[in-house]
Each structure stands twice: as structure tokens, then as C-alpha cells.
Amino acid sequence: MEKKMLGLIEKYLTLWIFLAIIFGVALGYAYPEISNVIAKMSIDTTSIPIAIGLILMMYPPLAKVKYEEMGKVFRNLKLLSFSLTQNWIVGPLVMFLLAIVLLRDMPEFMMGVILVGLARCIAMVIVWNELAEGDRELAVGLVAFNAIFQILFYAVYIYIFITLALTKLGLAEGVNAEVSIIEAAKTVFIYLGIPFIGGVITRYASFKVKGKEWFEKVLAPKISPITPMALLFTIVIMFSLKGEYIVELPYNVARVAIPLVLYFLIMWFATFFIAYKLGVDYPKTTAVSFTAASNDFELAIAVAIAIWGIQSDQAFATVIGPLIEVPVLISLVNVALKFRDKFYKID
């Protein structure tokens, strides 16, 4: 099998994110009035240009999800149940615990990290799985499931883990943790429902008019760069409003990075070895592991901005997600391939 390569944007996404942060901070220092300009283009806490950018960010991965292949994951109900448990029970709980243990003195950052843990990956996981030569059909099936589950349950999870849990544990004193389920659901619909509907219409209308092969080989590659470009645009705007934190930036990034790195490693290694012990073959083990360890940072960024505002520390924390996830998951691709050689007999 030929070695698969990431596209230029995806391969160097961490570098682009760093450059976007630097450019955003420099822009904020050079033109401090930019915050007033963006504020005038807002409704409540929602910036209209950023909302457009975030919706565009979510649209390509949702258009590329192979919803028609969801049924294939039912071939192994045991593996499907294990994957859903890792994604929707274990994953959120692990990130929640890491956040409250490591960031309880920084509640806004803690809430942002929790948001990342609640959002299950529906885009980049396919890239990691492809690079590690995992089971493509299983990966896209699980991604489809996660997309549907997110639309149905993400708002509920935000209410349970942030509004209820943090309040009950007394960890939300002095910060706004009162996120109503209706407000969260409205936000999820705007940033996930709208691009989901647009993506589904684009996908199946293309199938009908031009055919599935045309969509996969022509349209999908053309719309794919929209996601990282929209993400970088959002980061530039956010950090242009955060210029005054330039001195604190390395410390804040490090504090947020620690629970994120631990989360990715714990979820990936635990899922991989449990699947291995269950006798699952390498391609399926890899697909399940990367699905469990990856997160939909685009959705977390969108929700944090919509609920707490673009200048909030919650939004700042979610932006660190892709900064950390990309290099860690690329490293885990190499680990997966080494584990294949060590633990599996591949002809």
C-alpha cells in the first residue's frame, strides 16, 4: 500500500495555527480598534463574520460524511457498542476529570477544555485513520454516528457537564456556568445543524445530478480546504482581540495543553489495547482508537464563542484544541503502525 500523504494545509496545520496566532496578536497591537469594528457586527455574543466562518468550517466535513455507510458498522454490534461507550461515556468523563483536576483554579479554561471533550470528532479522524491504514468503512460509519449523536445530544451534554456538574461540585463560582439547554441547542443547531443540512443536501444532490464518483473525486477535494482556512480566519480574529495577553499566552497555552495531551494519550492507548485484547483486527482497532481519541474542536470553538463571546477565556481554551491535537495525533499514527508490526501479523 502506498504511503498516504496529508494535504499541504492539513500536514502543516499546527504551523499555520501558530502563524495565525502570531499574526492575530500583531494585528491587535497594530490596530486596537479592530475589536470595536467586530463588536459592531455582532448580535448579542455572536459575531456575524465569525459565525459565517465557523459554519463554513463545519460544512465540508459534514458533506463528506458517508451517511449511507452507517449500516455497515452494525456488522459487529459488540465493536459498535464499545466505540460508542468510549466516545459518549468514557471520553467526556475522562476530559471532565482532567479539566477539574488540572484547571480548577482557572474555571473559564476548565469549561473550554470540557467543551472540547464533549465534542466527538467528525472530520480529521478520517485523515488519521487513513494514514494509519485503519478500516475506512468502519471509520466513516462511526463518524456518521457521531455526527448524528452530536446533533441530538451535544446540547444535553453541555447542560449536564457544565451547568449541573460544575455547579453541584462548587467549581463554577465567579463564572457564568448557567448554560440553558435551549440556548445550547440553539447554538448547536446554528453551528452544526445548518452545515449538517447543507452538507447532506450538497452530498446527495451531487449524487443525483453528477454521480457519487464526481462528488468524491471533484467536489469533495475542492471544498475540503474551506475547513482549515475558516479555522485559521477564526483564530486570527480571536487573537487580534487577545493582544493584551501576549505575555501570559505561553503559560495559558501550556496549562490548557496538559489536560488535552493527557486526554489524547489516555483515550487512544486505552482504546487500542482494549480492542486488541478483545481480539479485534488491526484495521478496526485503529479506526476505533482514533475515533475515541479525536475531538471536534471546530464545534467546541463555535459553541464557546456563541455562549461566552469571542473574547472569552472559554473560547481561547477551545482554540488550543487543534494546536495540540494535530501533532499528538500525527505522532499516534506512527505509534499505530509500530504496534501493527509488533502485535499483529500483517501479510
Domains and CATH numbers, the chain: 8-341 (1.20.1530.20)
pTM, two decimal places: 0.81
- What's the pLDDT at 251? 83
* DSSP per residue, 256-267: HHHHHHHHHHHH
For residues 134 and 283, the answer to whether their CB atoms sit within 8 Å is yes
In this predicted structure, the answer to whether residue 55 has a pLDDT above a threshold of 80 is: yes
For residues 25 and 238, the answer to whether their CB atoms sit within 8 Å is no
Q: What is the 3-state secondary structure (H, E, C) of 22-83?
A: HHHHHHHHHCCCHHHHHHHCEECCEEHHHHHHHHHHHHHHHHHCCHHHHHHHHHCHHHHHHH
- pLDDT tens digits for range 209-237: 999 999 999 999 899 888 888 888 877 87
From the number of C-beta atoms within 10 Å of its C-beta (0-12, 13-18, 19+), residue 168 rates as exposed
Three cell numbers, residue 193:
445543524
Model confidence band, residue 64 (pLDDT cutoffs 50, 70, 90): confident
* Of 72 and 327, more confident: 327
For residues 116 and 295, the answer to whether their CB atoms sit within 8 Å is yes
Model confidence band, residue 160 (pLDDT cutoffs 50, 70, 90): very high
* Of 297 and 82, more confident: 82
Pairing relationship of beta strands 42-43 and 46-47 according to DSSP bridges: antiparallel
Helical ranges in 135-246 per DSSP H: 136-158, 167-168, 181-188, 194-209, 212-214, 220-223, 226-240
- What's the pLDDT at 69? 76
Average of per-residue pLDDT across 302-309: 82
- pLDDT tens digits for range 117-128: 999 877 678 778
- What's the pLDDT at 202? 94
Average of per-residue pLDDT across 322-326: 81
- pLDDT tens digits for range 93-112: 999 999 999 999 999 999 99
Among residues 108, 97, 92, the alpha carbon closest in space to that of 154 is found at: 92
Q: Could you give the CA distance from residue 282 to residue 337 in angstroms, rounded to a whole number?
A: 9
Query: Which are the contacts of 68, defined by CB distance < 8 A and separation ≥ 6?
Result: none
Model confidence band, residue 145 (pLDDT cutoffs 50, 70, 90): confident
Lowest mean pLDDT among 11-25, 44-58, 78-92, 280-294: 44-58
- What's the pLDDT at 148? 83
- What's the pLDDT at 256? 92
Q: Could you give the CA distance from residue 347 to residue 339 in angstroms, rounded to a whole number?
A: 15
Lowest mean pLDDT among 159-168, 173-182, 314-323: 173-182
- What's the pLDDT at 3? 42
Write the Ramachandran bin of 309: left for phi over 0, alpha for psi from -120 to 50, otherwise beta.
Answer: left
Average of per-residue pLDDT across 164-186: 79
**Sign of the dihedral through C-alpha 247, 231, 112, 28:** positive
